[in-house]
Structure formats: C-alpha cells, structure tokens
Structure 1
Amino acid sequence: MAALKPLLAMSERDRGRRAMAEEIARNLGCSWQHVYRLAEKAKTGGVMALARMGERRDRGQARVLISGRWMDWAARLCAAWPQAGDVPALADKTRQLVRAAWVGGAPGAFQCWLKASAALAKDLIDAGCPEPLAVELLSITCPRKWVEAEGKHFRVAGRALRDGKGVYDHNITPVRRTAANLKPGDLVCGDITPLDIPVLRDDGSVAYARLVSWHDVATNWLWVDVVLLEKGQGIRRDDVAASFARMAEEAPFGMPRRLYLDNGSEYRWDEMLVACKHLADMTGQQFVADESATAPASRQVVRSIPFHPRGKRIEGVFGRLTHWLSWWFGYVGGNRMTKKVATLGKGVDPAPLAEVKRWLNETLADYHVTPQPRAEHMGGMSPQQKLLSFREAGWAPWRIDRLALALAFADRYERKVTRGTVSVNGVTYYADFLMHIHGTVTVAVPRILLGAPVPLAYVLDGPRILGWAAPEHTYHLLDQAGAKEAARRKKVFRVMTGERLAQAGGPLDEAALAGTRALLLGLEATLAEVESAKQEITLSEEGQALLAGYMAAQEKAIADLNRKYELSLTADKLNRWADEDEDTKQARAMGL
C-alpha cells in the first residue's frame, strides 16, 4: 500500500503514470499490468482489499442464513404461503426465538433449537400457515454452530435469571482488594461455621458442634471457640459474648480496633454492637465501634453483603481450614446429605468432644506456623511470622480489663430500688449500699461469669459503677442466722446514715432559715412600696345615697326579723302553757 500511494495520487490521464507503474513494478517484482490491478483494488477496497488477495471474496460470510435444510424449507414456505414474507424476515424471526430460548435457560444448543423451532412452528400455524408445511421445521437438524454463536451472547442472560450463584462465581468480575496496610487487630472478622466432625454428647447422641470464629485479616490468624449445642438450639448471645471476651483477653492480635461482621439472619451480632458501645464509654472512647452510616470510617462496623462470600475474607480462611479438618478420620465433609463414611451402609464415626477440641487446637497451631504463599498480603509468611514481624516493628496488642468486658456483655435494666433490693427477671438482688439509694438505678447482669460462686449483678449510675449485688438469700422462719442478718443490716444502715450525716455536715436547721428567702429577696420592702402608692377611691353623691338607702333597708329588714322572732317565742310559750295536762303541771311544780 505504501508503494502504491504515489500512483494512487495521480489521475488516470496524468503523464508519467505508466513510468510510475513500471518503477513500482520493478520494486515489487511484478509486471506493470499487475501494478494497475493492485491500484484498482486499493482504490476501491483500501488496504484490506490488498490484504485479502488470494482469499475467497465471501470469506467470513455464511453461504446460507441458518442452514441448507432450513433455507430449502424457508424457500418452499415463502412460495406456498406468501404471508410468511421473504426468507431473511423468516430468518430474523428464527434468530429472535433462538435468543429467547437461550435467555429462557436452555442448557445446550440442541435443547435451544428444539424449543425455538417448536415456538416458530406454533406461531406460523397460529398465523394461518398450512400445518404440514410448518411441522416440517421440527424435523430439521439443529444448526449447532449457528445456535451456539447466538448463545455466546445470550446464554449468560439466561443463567442470570436462574443461577445467581453460577453467575456470581463465573461471570461477575470481582474487585481486587488488599490488606497490605493493616496491622494486627485493625480489622477482625466474626463468623460462625459448623464443624463437620460428629461428636458425642453426654447422653451418647451424635451432634455437630459450631465454631465461633474470629479472623485477624492482617495476619490471617484464626481464633476459634467450639460450642456444642443442645438439639434444636442455635448459637446464643452468651456463646458469642464469651467467645469475644476470650478472644479479646487471649488472642495474640488483641482487642480488635474494627469489626467486620456477618449479616446473615442466623447470627445475633446486634447485642455485641451494643456491648462495643458500652466498651467505648468505659474506655473513654479508646475502643470505638459504631454502625451509623454517618460515623467516621475509622469507627464504623463493617457489615458484609448477604450471600456474597467473595467479600468476606474469613470465608476463604474457612476454605483453607477445610483442608486441615479433612485429616480427621471421622470428617464427614460439607454435604451432610452425602456424608463421607468409612464403610458403605455404616453411619458416621463420632468421637468425644474433648478429644476433637484437643486435636483442633493442635491443628490450628500447625496452621498458624504454615507459610501462605498465595495470600498477597502475607508475602509468603505464616501467620506466626507475620505477627512476629509486626511485633519487631513496634506493634503491641490491646488488652481490656475483664470486668469491663463483663459489664459490656451484660443485659441492662432500669429498676427502682425497693428497701435495698432490685428485682430483675424474677431474681431479687440485695446490696448494703442500696439501702441508702432512692429512685431508679441501672442493673447490669453479665453474660460472662467472673468466677463468683453466685451470679452477680452490677449497679450502675450512668457510666459509674456503684457496686455489685448478690441474689437475696431466704432464711428459715426459726433460723437464727436470719435474725443476725437483720441486726447486721440495721447496724449497717445506722453506720451509713452516720456517714451521710457527716458528709452533709448534719441536718439543715429549717426553723432558723424560715423567712430568710423573703427577707433576702426584699418582700417587706415590696409590700411597703405597694402600700405607699395606694390610691383612695370615694363614692359619688348618687352612690352614697344608694348606699345609705341600702343600709337603711338592711337595718329595717333586721328589725323585722327580730320582731318576728320575739312574737314566735311568745306564741310558743302561750301554746305550751295552754296545752299542758295535769301530770305536766305537777311535775313542773315539783321542779322537774
């Protein structure tokens, strides 16, 4: 093409064109006539026309629209039934139905053609096509290459409608993430997974334990607690709280600075978030965890997307752990429906839980010292080497007091103090200091036992711990210990009362303070000021006349009432003396 450019730039009537062609022919090693033919190809088809010289002109173009048999059938159909249109239109309709079959979930080219050809035959018959002619389509062999060419672009859409897991695994492009800049404890993932090893309960029944797992992303260290549940029971908040507390106390990566938690409905992590907020209050916001979207990124709790294991690094750790667990002789695999058994027709081979726990701890120890060359942020190191490298760089784990953990993982209730006791869930707790508290307090009942012989409840006033209270003891009616305890409580109350009096400096003399506020605030001066500013209001002459008349009328009415009363007394005397019989007269004469 470069050699022909000078010739192409000249018109056909330019002088010297022949000489130019001969010069180009000598350079290319061909005749000048062949140079003219090359120039014609280049002028009409460009460089691609020159590149395809020696190839078929119709290279890359199908000689038939779908297949030879289909073309014969389509030609006869269009000739016998003009309403079908032309062959290209019929081919477009067939192509559309094949695409619809792929989107509908056809498993392969043959099944796709069966459904598409049946749909086309039905549409033709419904439109009035002679049935024998339309039915001939069903006997045409599947044009596999053509059908698969359409499936190349439409098969994935059908998979997306039916197989979300397959599309997630094979089609959706993952986003690359790295944990290279994280330190131990910076991000800890929490999750729960079944232990696919059958164990024996105390009653001899077979069960599968659960693993409450915590994964430090920076070192790939895995902290695991084995929990054996009763039949029909799930993981409880107590199990999660105890596991989190042990992890914070004993795990080499220490207290996590940020949490990445599972979002499935099986897991009850909300209570742990509440506990984390309590920890933040008790540690002066040194440890902070917040699930609010408006919180800073450094303190937000990360929630994984449901049913998207690719984003949860702990799922990958579980996958690697499976290779270690499969060494156990009684390992049954992840599919409980088709358990791995040593002998066909025989059940699983369970083992004692203590033995499995011991082996699991030793296996995890081997895992922690094994290099991980495929983990990009590990640099070919083992979790042990990665942890040691951070320690040599000056990193140190966080540790939180166990009492703070116990108070964080506690159920809190607002309760009113009644005679030195508080009642929570039917349990009455007593403490001496409660006898001098009036009103309501916060009662925290820990889910983590601290080694006390009886479960204790902690009484809080905001973030301040007032003390602990023990369940109230009930004494027998004639037990002298009850009387001694009552006397002790009275003595304690008197001592505490004396302490309060001393702290307050004695009771306030209210009698001596009576009237002090009025005196200090100038009440007498205010009253004198008001009295000095009074204005006398007198009645008018008409008002005075009305008042005099009213008073005269009142005096006359009073005089009339008195006169009537005297007349009634006189009449009563006359009536009594006139009506007395002889016996009454004699009695009166005797002084009775």
Structure 2
Amino acid sequence: MTIKEFVPPTLIAELAGISRQAVWKACQRGNWRGHSLDVRVVRDKGGNAGKQYLVNSTSLPLELQLRLKPIEMPVQNRPKPIARRGRRDRADKGKKRVVISRQWDALVPFDPITKARIAEDLKQEIQGLLAAGAAWGHVKILARNFLIETTRSWGFRPSDPASFEKACSIPWTLVSEELQYRKVHQFRTNRKAYEDSRPRGRRSTDGMRPMELVVGDVYPIDIHLTRADGSTCTAKLIGFLDWATGRVWCDLIAFDTRGGVNNRDVIEVFAAMVEHPAFGLPEALYIDNGKEYGFATYLDDAMTLAVPGFHGPGRSMRVIKALPYNAPAKPIERWFGDFESRYLSTLPGWIAGNRMNKRQEAIGRTVAPYGTFEDFVPAFFGLLKAYHSVPTGKQSGLKGLSPNTTFQQHVAAGWSAITMNRDEVRAAVARRVERTVIQGAFQIRGRRWSCEELWQYTHDKVLVCEPVYHAPAELLVLDMKGNRLGIATPDVALHPLDHRGAQSTAARAKAHRDAIAEMVSSIPQIDVAARLIALGQAQSDVIPYEPAGKVSFDPSQRPARIVMPKKPLISEERRREQDARIAAQMDLVKKIVG
C-alpha cells in the first residue's frame, strides 16, 4: 500500500491505539490532533445509514504515516467497501432450525425424518382445528394433547412426564402460521361474511345508458312510526336503482299488523316506474332471490313485447337473479346504507340499523316515533328529492355529479324512455295454462270465459295467459301455437226471458256456422265411399297356384258319418210346423181340462 491511499477509520484506530468512535468523531470534525484530515464519504453496508468514512493517509500525523509504510495492501482505483461490524451471516440463514420447539427437539431422541413427520402431522392437526372453528386457546391445548399422543405412539417413553408435557407446549408461531385456515370455518358457517370479504372485480358506469341496468330490492326503514292503535312499526321501502344515473324509483309500504312485502306490492311499484316517462322499461333487471320477486320469472318473455296483445318498440329485457349472499354486488345495498346514514338519520324517530340495539333517548327509553305513516311519506320523498339534486363525491361512479345532472346529460344526448301501461305490466305477469274449449268458452278459476274469437274457434284446446298475482278482469287467449286469438271476458249467465240471451245465442251460432262455412268453401267435396270402392276395384286379384294335393277318407275305414247341419226351412214349412205344435198343445190342454 502507498501512503497516498485512503484508509478506513478502523485501521487508524488500530494504529493509534484509540477507539473507532474517536476516529469517527475526528472524521466528522475534519481535524485530529491539529492536523486537517482529508475525508471522503462512501456508501456501503453498515455504518450510519450506510455511510462510511475514508481518510487520506497523507493528511494523517507523520508518526501514523510511518506506521502505515510496513503494511502492504492491494492498490485500488476506488475505495473498497469496509466489512461491517458484528457477526457474519449464518450459513443456514433462512432455513428452519427448530422442528416444533427447542424443548421438544432436545427431549425426543428421534431422527430428523421422524421429527419431520410428527411436525407435519401436528401442522395438519392445527389446520383442521382452525378450519373447525376452534379458538386460539383451544387450539394450543388440543394440539398439545395431539403432540403428546403422537410422540408416545412413535415409542417415546419419558422418564419425567411433567417435563415431557411441558416440552410439548405449542409455540404461538406454529398456530399463527396457519391462521388462514379460519377462512374455511367462515366459509362453512358464515357465508355472508365470507362473501363480503372475498376478492371482487370492479365495475364502472362509463358508457352506460339510463335504464340499461336497474337493480331492485326491499329495505326496512329504521324510523319508528305510530299505528292507529298506538303501537309502533317501521315502513318497508321497495326500490329500483338506475345504475347508470344513480336515480331511485321507490315507494313505501306499512302494515297495520305483522306482514311482509309480497309480489303484488313489488309489481305495483315496478309498473308505476315502467309507466313514468323519466324511467320507463329497463333493458335488464337485477333482483334478489327473495320470494317477493317471483313475478320476475314471468317477465323474461313478456317484457320482450313479443307476446301477442302487446305492441310497441322492440326493446327486450333480461331478468338477472343475484347470487346468494352477494349483497356487495348490488349497488342499491350501498345506496340504502348511504341514504339512511346521510338523510334518514336527520329525521326524528331514527333507531339506527341494529334492531337488537336501538338508539335510546335516555337509558331504557327508545326514541319517540316520528309520527304516523302518512306524516312520514312526504318527509321521505322530500329527502329523496334532495338526494337526487346533491352532487356525489369525486371518487363515486357519477364523478362528482348529482343523479339529476347525470340524467340531464343523457337526455341532452338524445335518450328517451320506452314506457308501458301499468295494466299491461300486470297482465304480462301471467302464466300460460291449457284449457278445453266447450261451446265457445272455457273454465278458469271457477268462472266461464268467452270472446267472439272463440265462437269461431274450431279447435278443442287454447292457451290462456292467467295473471299470477292479480284477479283478472280480462284474459289474453292464444292458440296452441302461441298466436293471439282475443281477449276473453267473463261469460255472464242471463235470465231466460232476457232478450239479450237470445241475441247472444244467435250471434254465437251464426259465428260458428260462418266458420264452418268458410272451412267448407276452402276444401274440395270428396265422396269417401266412392274413393274406397275405386281403391278396392283398382286392386288386382291374387291368383293362387294349383293345389298340391287333395285329402280324402276311405269310406270303409272312417269312424262315423258326418252329419251336416239341417238347412233352414222355407217360410211355408216353418208355418206348418208351427201350426202342428200349436195343435198338439191344444190337444194336451183339452185332455187336462177334460
């Protein structure tokens, strides 16, 4: 090494017989024992945040320079990183050095392979306990017992059972490494929590049209209301959220007694939305699997507007059923929570979302009711109107715009709704049933139904679109191919002296005769008997071969004569025989009478 090279502080400390910290302080000051030091700072492992000092040997005192001359070090173009203080890295760094615990590893005399097998069995036992829902403390106790039994099953007999059981204590690290198996227990027993925590993809409303996807649901309103009898209740909200604009169409319902929302209630709210020009018919309806949405199974075909009897622009609608326990996938669930916390919570009577732990005005006294249901309805829709006009957050799907502003932009771009009369919506929620036509009418729900088209109908069967949840005033009638026949109304029985009965009977008879006459005029006249005779005469006779032989009996060897049946008598012979029998009977009577 030459004197002009840079040396580390550790070497200077060794030559000067002082501590390394003293040399570092001198390097920081830049002078030592009256000599100005030429110090350079390099980056390397260790030191002060990776900072190392190197000192030019020519700036050191002369006595230290003389001590450096006998030391030979390789010349370097740049300073070599200085090894950091402390222990060197272990050769087995990153490898597991403890099988189960230090005490157990030292106590049992098994070979490494046997210990590894026991450790693997213990690991699976811990995983199974966590997957079965065992608590942390129970896992450690049950796993310790398992380790004791397993170790003994491999032939180990401890001299001190107490020390052995203590050595089998389960380290907390073994349990913590397998905590992910709690997800198995959550999946089995708490599916709702699992579905809420599972990975999900993100959805965006960019490019969506109004009413392209509408989400429906039913939600309880957490505000106490007063019934007429003085008892308290809460209302139910039936809502439909337009995903693209954030607008909500909803209605409220309250029950005088215990009850729940049924299909008829949901149909009425849905039909009112479809009839409104700002909403109209959705392109897709995303709903829950609850029984109150059973009506939607009949909308798949009816809402295509291809069902005979409904006419209008061709917009189809798909009904999408949500997966079970999949509330996070429905934005209306988030809307319910946001609307309740930001708007409904400002009203008196709000009891918060936990029905088992309602808000209390004082200890032991719940909040006072808001009022009657009729009082609450205007306040609710006033808050809903405020929601539609308040801008959302910058990170929301509407990007800081209010639902009304977003909808206005779509209207300005040319969007318009396709509406449908609510009576037609009610009629669309119907199932097709087969009925037999008897004398121009059919029976359904204990009533007789008929229409003019059925008077002319010559087939025996029809398909009737029977409303599922409403009492019908009219019924759509289709033929067996699904083609529209007409609208049937109840066939009312009239008084025998009512002239309308005779007129109706005559009209029905005439319509049926006209249908038959039309059928006659459209078909050729055919003589079936003549056709069959001609068919028979056109067939050629079958000519047999000559008989192969003739069978006869020898009269001398036959067992008996064959007596042929007596031929029928002619009429005169029959009359003479009858007269003879009568005369014989009269003679017998005379003899008896005497």
TM-score (norm 2): 0.66
Find the counterpart in structure 2 of residue 387 from structure 1.
407
Correspondent of 1:320 among 334, 338, 358: 338
Correspondent of 2:233 among 207, 211, 230: 207
- 1:428-459: CA deviation from partner (whole Å, max 9, x where unpaired): 44657655556343344446879xxx944444
Contact 2:271–2:421 (CA<8 Å) still a contact in 1?
no
Find the counterpart in structure 2 of residue 286 from structure 1.
314
Find the counterpart in structure 1 of residue 373 from structure 2.
353
Distance in 1 between the 2:131 and 2:265 partners?
47
Distance in 1 between the 2:302 and 2:449 partners?
22
Find the counterpart in structure 2 of residue 309 from structure 1.
327
Change (3 A) 1:286 1:529: closer
Find the counterpart in structure 1 of residue 286 from structure 2.
260
1:343 aligns with 2:367: no
Change (3 A) 1:508 1:386: closer
1:132 aligns with 2:131: no
Change (3 A) 1:334 1:429: farther
Distance in 2 between the 1:221 and 1:574 partners?
110
Correspondent of 1:242 among 268, 288, 291: 268
**What is the identity, as a one-letter code, of the residue corresponding to 1:316?**
R
Find the counterpart in structure 1 of residue 506 from structure 2.
494
Deviation at residue 248 of structure 1 after TM alignment = 0.8
Contact 2:118–2:151 (CA<8 Å) still a contact in 1?
no
Change (3 A) 1:219 1:169: same
Contact 1:193–1:212 (CA<8 Å) still a contact in 2?
yes
Find the counterpart in structure 1 of residue 185 from structure 2.
161
Contact 1:456–1:470 (CA<8 Å) still a contact in 2?
yes
1:218 aligns with 2:247: no
The residue correspondences of 1:509-548 to structure 2 (distance < 5 A) are: 515=527
| Gaps in structure 1 of 5+ consecutive residues | 1-17, 43-49, 290-299, 474-480, 547-555, 588-592
Distance in 2 between the 1:208 and 1:87 partners?
65
Distance in 1 between the 2:118 and 2:582 partners?
138
Counting aligned pairs with the same residue, the percent is 20
Distance in 2 between the 1:62 and 1:529 partners?
104
| Gaps in structure 2 of 5+ consecutive residues | 9-37, 43-53, 58-67, 554-562
1:54 partner SS: coil
Deviation at residue 256 of structure 1 after TM alignment = 0.5
Distance in 2 between the 1:63 and 1:460 partners?
78
Correspondent of 1:482 among 485, 490, 495: 495
Q: Give the count of matched residue pairs.
A: 502
Contact 2:212–2:244 (CA<8 Å) still a contact in 1?
yes
Change (3 A) 1:376 1:535: closer
Deviation at residue 369 of structure 1 after TM alignment = 1.1
Find the counterpart in structure 1 of residue 46 from structure 2.
none
Deviation at residue 74 of structure 1 after TM alignment = 5.1
Deviation at residue 363 of structure 1 after TM alignment = 1.4
1:174 aligns with 2:195: no
Contact 1:65–1:91 (CA<8 Å) still a contact in 2?
no
Find the counterpart in structure 2 of residue 550 from structure 1.
none
Change (3 A) 1:84 1:523: closer
Distance in 2 between the 1:537 and 1:447 partners?
70
Deviation at residue 90 of structure 1 after TM alignment = 12
Deviation at residue 393 of structure 1 after TM alignment = 0.8
The residue correspondences of 1:549-568 to structure 2 (distance < 5 A) are: none
1:191 partner SS: strand
Find the counterpart in structure 2 of residue 364 from structure 1.
384
1:337 partner SS: coil
Find the counterpart in structure 1 of residue 298 from structure 2.
274
Find the counterpart in structure 1 of residue 87 from structure 2.
56
Change (3 A) 1:167 1:38: farther
Find the counterpart in structure 1 of residue 48 from structure 2.
none
